[in-house]
């Protein structure tokens, strides 16, 4: 009798949203555009990294946005965790909404922002990308990361963005409930034998624990 042995091992991804930025404070739309981390954002990044020190990570991946790269740098600190950049982990492209305030969008584009926030798969900002397009590139990146690590298994850090992570979760669950991912909150998803298990969403406890230990 021939027995097929599956050599896949569990891969657990820890998705982390970047720390607070200047545009977050000003409440500007921030997708492909960028703004620096605030002092609070730096503290959040250092705190979540400290809160995760008891967990061994095989590798880390990050969007190419500077706010995410800086978050990864502060969170990883002096730990020996190799960091790779993947542009597919970038935030949703908000097109003509980029860097604008909500009231400016309303004045210039009417109810277009409300249409975007409807979460319909084909909803997008003018000249931006849709939720389905965002999910397609996010899922492709995640699947490649899991494939890369499934022979050995282990934990992997994914530094990304609020809408990118939130959209990934709601598409996996076919939900219309969009959970707000606070800065440096952690979402954990495990992968084994083609199955995905969402273990926690937008968890701030790692950051809170780490802040106490800094």
CA distances from 50 to 63, 109, 212 (A): 21, 43, 9
- Mark whether 149 is an active-site residue: no
Question: Is 23 annotated to bind ligand?
Answer: yes
| β-strand partners of 190 | 12, 197
Question: Is 24 annotated to bind ligand?
Answer: yes
* Selection from 60, 50, 54, 51 nearest residue 80 by Cα: 60
Question: Is 21 annotated to bind ligand?
Answer: yes
26, 39, 58, 91: which one is catalytic? Answer: 91
* Selection from 187, 195, 147 nearest residue 164 by Cα: 187
- Mark whether 120 is an active-site residue: no
CA 57 to chain centre: 17
Question: Is 67 annotated to bind ligand?
Answer: yes
4, 8, 18, 26: which one is catalytic? Answer: 18
Give the residue numbers of the binding site for substrate: 17-24, 67
Give the residue numbers of the binding site: 17-24, 67
Annotated active-site positions, please? Answer: 18, 91
């Amino acid at each position: 009798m021939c027995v097929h042995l599956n050599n896949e091992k569990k891969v657990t991804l820890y998705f982390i949203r970047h720390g607070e930025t200047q545009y977050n404070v000003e409440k500007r739309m921030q997708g492909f555009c960028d703004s620096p981390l605030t002092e609070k954002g730096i503290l959040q990044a250092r705190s979540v990294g400290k809160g995760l020190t008891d967990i061994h990570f095989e590798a880390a991946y990050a969007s190419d946005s500077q706010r995410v790269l800086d978050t990864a740098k502060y969170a990883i600190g002096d730990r020996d965790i190799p960091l790779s950049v993947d542009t597919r982990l970038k935030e949703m492209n908000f097109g003509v909404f980029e860097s604008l305030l909500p009231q400016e969008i309303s004045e210039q584009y009417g109810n277009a922002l409300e249409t975007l926030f409807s979460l319909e798969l084909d909803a997008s900002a003018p000249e931006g990308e849709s939720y389905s397009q965002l999910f397609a590139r996010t899922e492709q990146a995640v699947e490649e990361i899991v494939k890369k690590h499934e022979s050995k298994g282990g934990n992997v850090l994914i530094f990304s963005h609020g809408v990118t992570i939130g959209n990934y979760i709601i598409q996996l669950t076919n939900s219309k409930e969009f959970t707000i991912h606070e800065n440096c909150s952690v979402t954990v998803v495990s992968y084994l034998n083609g199955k995905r298990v969402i273990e926690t969403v937008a968890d701030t406890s790692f950051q809170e624990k780490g802040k106490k230990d800094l």
